[in-house]
Amino acid sequence: MWAFVAKALLAGAMIAAIAEIGRRLPTAAALIASLPLVSILGMIFLWYARPDVENMARHAGATFWYVIPSLPMFLVIPALLRGGMGFWPSLLIGCVLTIILYLAMMQLGPRFGLRL
């Protein structure tokens, strides 16, 4: 239980730090947010809980393929905001697009030999 609480606090601290940095230095916060810190921490925690080479390799490989469908969101949201749409509708549309692309990846990936 304590390990879960520690993980949650660490993740929350990372998000809070990015938000605070973003108030003053949006580009620096974007750079920090783009780092695969969550993925790295997730792999460390996963390895600690289950040190299995094949499991870790599969996890890391699947993470790569799931990053790809999330990227268009970061183009759609700024385009919608600059086009005059409000923040919340833009965010919602970006998230829905990402979910649709995730579902597409889950359906199409195995057809191309990806183990997701």
Query: pTM value?
Result: 0.80
Q: Look up residue 83 and give its DSSP letter.
A: T
Domain boundaries, position 98: 53-116
Residue 53: per-residue pLDDT:
97
Domain tally, the chain: 1
Asked whether residue 90 is assigned to any structural domain, the reply reads yes
pLDDT in tens, 40-68: 989 999 999 999 999 999 999 999 999 99
Asked whether residue 23 is assigned to any structural domain, the reply reads no
Exposure class string for 9-32: b at 16+ Cβ within 10 A, else e: eeeeebeeebeebeeeeeeebeee
Residue 38: per-residue pLDDT:
85
Asked whether residue 8 is assigned to any structural domain, the reply reads no
Mean pLDDT of the chain: 94
Nearest CA among 44, 41, 100 for reference residue 76: 100
| pLDDT band of 1, cuts 50, 70, 90 | confident
Structure-derived torsion over alpha carbons of residues 46, 60, 102, 89, reported in degrees to the nearest 10:
70
Nearest CA among 60, 18, 65 for reference residue 39: 60
Asked whether residue 65 is assigned to any structural domain, the reply reads yes
